[in-house]
Structure 1
Amino acid sequence: MSGQSARYRIGYAASLFGWVAVPYLAGSVLSWETFGAGIGPAFFPPAGVTVAAMLLTRRALWPVIVAAVVVIELAVDFHYGTGLPTAAGYALANSVEPLIGASLVRAWCKGPPDLRERNDLARFVAGAMVLGPLAGGVIGGLVTAAHEHTWWPIAILHWWAGSGVGVLMVGAPILLWRFQSQILRSRIFETFAVLFAMGGLSVVAFRLELPPALFLLPVMAWAALRLDMIGAALCGGVLAFTANLMANLGYTTFENLDLRAPGQLAVAQAFIAVVVLVAMLTAQEAAGRVTAVRQRQAERRERARLETLANLGRLLSGAFTQKQISDAIVGQVINDAGAQALTVGLVNDERTRLEWVAMGGYPDVVTEQDQFAGGVMLTDSSAATDTVRTGKPVVVRTVAEYRRRYPDNAKWLVASGGASVVGWPLTVGGKAIGVLVLAWSEPQPLDTAQLAYTSAVATMIGQALVRARMYADEHARAAVLQAAVLPSSPAIIAGVNVGVSYEPADTVQGLGGDWYDALELPHGRTYLAVGDVVGHGLPAVEDMAQLRSAGRAMALQGLPPAQLLAELNTFARLASNGKFATMGVAVLDPSSGTLSYASAGHPPPLLRRSSTGMVIRLTGAHGPVLGPVDRASYSEGRVEVRDGDILVMYTDGLIERRGQDIESGMTRVQKLVTQWNGEEFLPSACRLLTQTLAPPPRDDDVCVVAVRFG
């Protein structure tokens, strides 16, 4: 294993060397051939390549980047006839420059910067664009002055401006690419039009000696408002390339300044940098305003969905016939939740046909057709039948996509005026017994929030149908509901490794009120939760399902843990069966390396540090249980986490025993987690904790969740 690891590290270092060396070589040759301006390169794109590479890689790999800089710099300089002392000075300058710039930016931003944030952009400009190039400029400018016999202040200014613009025009797009490349891909023709317009108008402005702002600022505004910051940065790169090319050909708008040609070119670089930064700030402001509007709209939609879930849960809890269930679903999901049409189908006993038990929102031309209205054969090709056959959701965002996937049945979608469709399975013990199909007349993004809502509705419908179909068989009902509410294994989430152990107190019925959740949120964040509804049986599972679904919806709204529990407390008072629940919530933000957490009367989670093996209790959050307290408030704790750290969340069934106080139980858990080596297979580790501390027969449900970060 160690040999494979070593080969992987060597291969990765070689790959990094190549990714830095190739663009550095291309940019250096381009600078010498095109932007010479008498004393060497004036616009130096490799400066942006090296500082971006350092900002996006671990510090331990920076020597590889420096090696690429030194090797390529010496090779290029020797090719163009530069002597060894001068070439060595250039290599030193171009190595010191990104080292200082990247070190300052990473220290100020506590990691790679997100240039969409104004503070991070300011730190990037100050560290990578100003201070780093200034340090390199002092070294490189003095070497250039000695070699070319030029005035050293002008040489330093010339180097500083060229590298600074290179960092802004090349480094910024590289850093923004992972966040905003989808904007360019979705508007590919507009992107090319903007870049072509910038290049063409730049040539006209410099060729006719017209004020550049007259032509260029409108194009920059276009790029900033339509293509966000990455569009403004790319336009800046085109402008810098064109301006330096024209200056090298003898065209400049700053020739009236009492400066030598290199000084005039440095001033031109400063002008370009200011124009691009203003455009990027404009893009930031516009994006911020658009995001605020979208957030308000999303909050309104999510609040409407939460209200629908609460009302639907209340109505379905008292529905014991398929007619009552159908009326509740059609009334709430269509009228209040935005979907224009829906169908709910159950598989017949022979598992040959999907029969509709609820249908609404479809025009008469569809519902009057026997081949559709009465149900469909499972052998047919459609979103509904695919969902049942595979037991997995089917998501279709456009009519064209539906036609490609289901050409034989696309006529029904077209006839009903549908545009987007979701099929969600209704499952029992991991086996699909039916399907919920939602359709919209307008194309939908069908994002995480919409799919989480659909999943919650499907869970509630599944529970209600089980009550109506299997009400007399409590054991079968229990198995179906438990399987519908809790997944057999947690979802795979990038950046974390999750293990779960769930053991109900009632091993016969298998029905309890404990639950867990692990959900990937926007911007790479992760939502984690563990809860315990008081009681057992069907009422406890219903409360559990509603609280779990509502918690997911609120987490997708972006609510921090303390506010999420406060909102959930209000929800619990209005929508539960009158009992109370405890809950622990945590949200991991990998960009800041912090874990925010809050507790509603729940035992404190444990955090095992990978570096020391020490296990600490996260006791920085407090608050009452959910339900009985009106307008409850919750405090929030925050802790930094590192790769390899393990978070352990659990319900009180793990630590409560007759004749034993809770403190002793928590101490036993803490001691066992301390004995972990950090490399455990987390599902097995969770099961071992449960078997050791809460073996059957047990008085309470036990749920344990372990999460390894990184």
Structure 2
Amino acid sequence: MTASKMRGRIGYAAGLFGWVALPYLAGSVLSWQTFGAGIGPAFFPPAGVTVAAMLLNRRSLWPVIVAAIVVAELAVDLRYGAGLGTSAGFALANSVEPLVGAALVLAWCKGPPDLRERADLARFVGGAMVLGPLVGGVIAGVTTAITTGTWSVIEILHWWAGDGVGVLLIGGPILLWRFQFRLLRARMLETVLVLVAMAGLTVVSFRLGIPPALFLLPVMAWAALRLDMIGAVLCGGALAFTANSMANAGYTTFESLDLRAPGQLAIAQVFIAVVVIVAMLTAQEAAGRVTAVQQRQTERRERARLETLANLGQLLSCALTQNQIGDAVLGQVINDAGAQALAVALVNDDGTALDWLAMGGYPNFAAYQFHESVALDESTAATDAVRTGEPVVIRTVAEYRRRYPDNAKWMVASGGAAVVSWPLTAGGKAIGALVLAWADTQPLDTAQLAYTSAVGTMIGQALVRARVYADEHARAAVLQAAVLPTSPAAIPGMDVGVSYEPADVEQGLGGDWYDALELPHGQTYLTVGDVVGHGLPAVEDMAQLRSAGRALAFQGLAPAQLLVALNTFTRQASNGKFATMAVAVLDPATATLAYASAGHPPPVLRRAGTGTVIRLAGAHGPVLGPVERAWYREGHIEVCDGDILVMYTDGLIERRGQDIESGMARVQQLVAQWSGDEPLPAACRQLTQTLAPPPRDDDVCVVAVRFGAIDVNGSADR
């Protein structure tokens, strides 16, 4: 270990010691002075600090936490007159308690608990709140018995209840903070009002002797429904702090019970814990129902977007002029995307300005302001997208005002709140921009942007077709070059090689395609496909399927789900009416490759360690297009550093007089002969030349991917 890493670990340990010891000291002093009612702590917040610290840190740091507990406990106990033996016993009890609670919760939850999940909440309550404090209470009871010579179950109950409620009301918010603090920040005033209302009503209830549930449960329910679980537990914390302070001042609500004061205080803590847990369960139920509604809404939006893409694909496939393209986009996209306004702009022949091809949804005065063209050197969302080749995404009016202060007045006057300007490209060069505007603030999440990207890709493809439609070969060539690069884009942590050889060598046109695309969260989308036919219709189908596949992959669909959605798209939007396709998605978080096939030859995987070649034939389904409500099987396989995935189209293995099985076996044999570290582009070309030399009857596309290192946590080495 280097000196710098050692210093970093020592510094972190020292910081952890301070973060545990200081709150422990403060909470202990508060417990003795404010929550003791003259008989010792009834509500012990440090119990929540210590167990949360252990749950959120690796076990090798637990000795640091125990040291902080011992130092702080001895300091406080000795300060308040406890003997050294008693102080040592209490330090042992408060050290063993979080160790037992954290160890049980981690074992049951397989890691730090997510209290938003009902099962994890139950495990947290059972391990950290019940069993851990119970063990601590028994040790403290033994310590007290040795010191005083008397044994008392009430004292154990007193300790257990005070520490248990401390775990719930202090440890709970700490564990929930990383998941839900944004909700509190968004509703800061409401949070403060709820906490103040809870504290105030608790004081009133104790002073007037009114049953606390009468006032407190409605406030707790409001906190649970509006502020989720963290609001409920914080509200419970306000209740516990206030109720125990009132008890310390001589006001109690359980004096009618035939119990000594420690027992009454313990029952009060149990009452608080039950109220809070019920509120947390209420919050879980409410959150679950809200999530279900949101999921249904999201599914409806995604279905509508897929239908829009299919319809737009049909319309654009028939549009042969720029005006027809503009009309199709205005008629299909503006409402289905949810946007209130839309504009399509193209770079003029001189390359100096953007000319508006189509514009709809804008107020007349705003449309008139930009009715002709905009110089490319002006600072606007559309021109920036064209100049940089990158989308411009603006979610609020304030953000628009910061970026484009000169045009903000038109944004405000037209009632706009969010804008996306997406570059329209051909051959890697921006030729225009698609602008969508919303009257309401938008999240502009991955799904919305993926939809916009797919629309922009379709518009770009249609514009390319419109510019060269008089010459079929030129149109097909430009379209294929626009959507099918000659070499794959670089993907961190992967080595990708491609060989693409069309059957028509002179024109270079075909329906085979491939894609290698980095997805959000580090995943990678890999595919090869083949549409029926050659020439312009095949290239059009290839372009639409490749773009639609990209959009679906960006939405996070698994391979089998992606093929189901693409099957519907193929039936509605393709010329040939069917295609084959193999899809694979690498998830570095699990080092797992998910794959599926729609009537396509199965990929093969060469293992780096043994050189063994595996045929991934366990996931298959019908070809895309002809089958309604098609279903596809999905396979999964773990991959390792240096493994090579080879995907190919049927032109590599189909020969007159040779069955397909022989061709696939020949692919496995040749890939098995690879050394494992050869340049993949050259290896793909050699495979093509060996198995499918010219003249060819069909297009051939071969993609080979060598996976980078996968670390112990399952993340790709990037």
Q: TM-score range by the shorter chain?
A: 0.7 to 0.9
AA in 2 matched with 1:170: I
Name the structure 2 match of 1:438.
Answer: 436
Q: Is the 8 A contact 2:102 2:127 kept in 1?
A: yes
Name the structure 1 match of 2:171.
Answer: 171
What CA distance in whole angstroms lies between the structure 1 residues aligned with 2:15 and 2:340?
51
For residue 498 of structure 2, the aligned residue among 493, 498, 503 is 503
Unpaired segments of 5 or more residues in structure 2?
A: 690-699
Q: Is the 8 A contact 1:54 1:65 kept in 2?
A: yes
Q: Is the 8 A contact 2:499 2:688 kept in 1?
A: no
Are 1:534 and 2:530 an aligned pair?
A: yes
Q: Higher mean Cα deviation, 542-551 or 116-125? A: 542-551
Within 5 Å, give how 1:454-469 maps onto structure 2. 454-469=452-467
SS at match of 1:357: strand
Name the structure 1 match of 2:252.
Answer: 252
For residue 597 of structure 1, the aligned residue among 577, 587, 594 is 594
Name the structure 2 match of 1:704.
Answer: 705
Q: Is the 8 A contact 1:48 1:171 kept in 2?
A: yes
What CA distance in whole angstroms lies between the structure 2 residues aligned with 1:279 and 1:671?
64
SS at match of 2:370: helix
Residue 25 to residue 262, structure 1, CA distance change in 2 (3 Å): same
For residue 627 of structure 1, the aligned residue among 619, 625, 628 is 625
Q: Higher mean Cα deviation, 29-38 or 614-623? A: 614-623
AA in 1 matched with 2:500: A
Q: Is the 8 A contact 1:533 1:579 kept in 2?
A: no
Residue 348 to residue 9, structure 1, CA distance change in 2 (3 Å): farther
Q: Is the 8 A contact 1:205 1:211 kept in 2?
A: yes
What CA distance in whole angstroms lies between the structure 2 residues aligned with 1:300 and 1:118?
28
For residue 376 of structure 1, the aligned residue among 364, 370, 374 is 374
Residue 101 to residue 356, structure 1, CA distance change in 2 (3 Å): same
SS at match of 2:484: helix
Q: Higher mean Cα deviation, 294-303 or 24-33? A: 24-33
Residue 634 to residue 653, structure 1, CA distance change in 2 (3 Å): closer
Are 1:412 and 2:410 an aligned pair?
A: yes
Q: Is the 8 A contact 2:516 2:527 kept in 1?
A: yes
Name the structure 1 match of 2:697.
Answer: none
AA in 2 matched with 1:704: V
What is the Cα deviation at residue 438 of structure 1?
Answer: 0.1
Within 5 Å, give how 1:221-300 maps onto structure 2. 221-300=221-300
Residue 381 to residue 205, structure 1, CA distance change in 2 (3 Å): same
Q: How many residues align?
A: 681
Within 5 Å, give how 1:576-591 maps onto structure 2. 576-577=574-575, 578-586=577-585
Name which one, 1 or 2, has greater alpha-carbon Rg.
Answer: 2
What CA distance in whole angstroms lies between the structure 2 residues aligned with 1:703 and 1:362?
48
What CA distance in whole angstroms lies between the structure 2 residues aligned with 1:192 and 1:664?
71
SS at match of 2:500: coil
Residue 486 to residue 123, structure 1, CA distance change in 2 (3 Å): farther
1:406-444 residue CA offsets vs partner (Å, 9 max, x unmatched): 221123323433222111122345443321100112222
Are 1:205 and 2:205 an aligned pair?
A: yes
AA in 1 matched with 2:384: D
What is the Cα deviation at residue 228 of structure 1?
Answer: 0.8
What is the Cα deviation at residue 373 of structure 1?
Answer: 0.8
What CA distance in whole angstroms lies between the structure 1 residues aligned with 2:296 and 2:412?
32
What CA distance in whole angstroms lies between the structure 1 residues aligned with 2:702 and 2:545?
17
What is the Cα deviation at residue 313 of structure 1?
Answer: 1.3
Q: Is the 8 A contact 1:142 1:155 kept in 2?
A: no
1:156-205 residue CA offsets vs partner (Å, 9 max, x unmatched): 11111112111111111112112111111111111111111111111211
SS at match of 2:431: strand
Q: Is the 8 A contact 1:342 1:436 kept in 2?
A: yes
What CA distance in whole angstroms lies between the structure 1 residues aligned with 2:278 and 2:634?
38
AA in 2 matched with 1:499: M
Within 5 Å, give how 1:39-118 maps onto structure 2. 39-118=39-118
AA in 1 matched with 2:34: T
What is the Cα deviation at residue 338 of structure 1?
Answer: 1.8
Q: Is the 8 A contact 1:529 1:583 kept in 2?
A: no
Name the structure 2 match of 1:218.
Answer: 218
Normalised by the length of structure 1, the TM-score is: 0.85
Residue 113 to residue 342, structure 1, CA distance change in 2 (3 Å): same
Residue 16 to residue 503, structure 1, CA distance change in 2 (3 Å): farther
Residue 438 to residue 173, structure 1, CA distance change in 2 (3 Å): same
Name the structure 2 match of 1:119.
Answer: 119
Q: Higher mean Cα deviation, 265-274 or 111-120? A: 111-120
Q: Is the 8 A contact 1:655 1:666 kept in 2?
A: no
SS at match of 1:161: helix
Within 5 Å, give how 1:303-314 maps onto structure 2. 303-314=303-314
AA in 1 matched with 2:420: V
Q: Is the 8 A contact 1:583 1:625 kept in 2?
A: no
Are 1:320 and 2:320 an aligned pair?
A: yes
Residue 576 to residue 109, structure 1, CA distance change in 2 (3 Å): farther
Name the structure 2 match of 1:341.
Answer: 341
Residue 434 to residue 248, structure 1, CA distance change in 2 (3 Å): same
What CA distance in whole angstroms lies between the structure 1 residues aligned with 2:411 and 2:228?
36
SS at match of 1:380: coil
What is the Cα deviation at residue 342 of structure 1?
Answer: 0.8
What is the Cα deviation at residue 468 of structure 1?
Answer: 1.9
What is the Cα deviation at residue 48 of structure 1?
Answer: 1.6
What CA distance in whole angstroms lies between the structure 1 residues aligned with 2:387 and 2:395?
20
